[in-house]
Amino acid sequence: MVNSSQFPYFILTEYLGMGYLKYLYFVIVLMLYVVLVVANALLIVTICMNRSLHEPMYVFLCSLLVNQLYGSAGLFPFLLLQITSDSHTISRSMCFLQIYCLYTYASVELCNLAVMSYDRYLAICCPLHYKVRLTSNKVALFIALVWLYSLIKFLISLFLTFRLKLCGNVIDRLYCQNYYVTKLACSDTTVNNIWGIVTTFLTIFVPLFPILFSYTKILRVCVVGSKETRQKAVSTCSPHIASLINFSFGCGFEIFQSRFNMTGVPRIIRIVLSLYFLTIQPIFNPVIYGLRLSKIRQMCRNQFCCKKL
């Protein structure tokens, strides 16, 4: 039986000892959030309002941007509230809701990047069959699968963690994480550990396969293809590769920090690394896609800039 009244809240210790610096942190986080929301919303509106951008590549990008707004909504308002609060606690229900939001964000992000790599493979390696093999119905199906796959998968993880009997309620982090809540358990966590391994495989290696497959094919075409083919591949794939590398490094930082003792690392560095994939990625993507894709740049200028008389 789950005793839902046991430890009705968790204490987040990373906020302790901020002192007057909390006002500086508040301003920095608020500015990041405003930039993130404006940048992502700008590109979403641009893609939605221009029919010429209703192509698979831009529809997948729109899904990526929506996911970043979803993930940031599960973190930034909470950070702002915690920074200014004197009681750094979070209720049990809100903690699990945050875990679900942030973990599904990470899964959807990687799955979106996997689908986008397949789109680039078809555009570069099979240009004559691109519209046949990637119809609007298939694009909608891919996006639905990306979201449902992640949302359902982590519902199981959340249930398995919620059923645990906990012997503590102190989390040495800025936000709730499934791994740290499980570490507080004094009941058997064998099922959680097994499912954790399965979830890691489903989250990382399943999306990794289409990414590796797509770029292997693209690289092969670039080697034997013309100069124009290589230029097209570089111009269309470089934002995706940059986004994928940035997100992978951010997730790698967080996994490494969760599994190894980082007490010897300065506290501010630990904080930055733990927030990297949740803050930098949603800001990085609109910038890199907005700068590299000329069609989006042109549409943004037409949509939001005043025309000269």
Q: What is the pLDDT of residues 214-227, one digit of tens each?
A: 999 988 888 887 77
Q: What is the pTM of this model?
A: 0.89
Q: 51: which DSSP letter?
A: G
pLDDT of residue 105: 95
Rounded Cα distance, 253 and 249, in Å: 6
Rounded Cα distance, 26 and 30, in Å: 6
Which phi and psi angles does 176 have, rounded to 5°?
A: -75, 140
Rounded Cα distance, 71 and 153, in Å: 16
Q: Tell whether domain 9-121+128-304 is in CATH 1.20.1070.10.
A: yes
Rounded Cα distance, 147 and 107, in Å: 9
207 falls in which pLDDT band (50, 70, 90)? very high
pLDDT of residue 236: 81
293 falls in which pLDDT band (50, 70, 90)? low
Rounded Cα distance, 194 and 189, in Å: 9
Positive/negative CA dihedral, 223, 225, 228, 232: negative
251 falls in which pLDDT band (50, 70, 90)? confident
Domain boundaries, the chain: 9-121+128-304
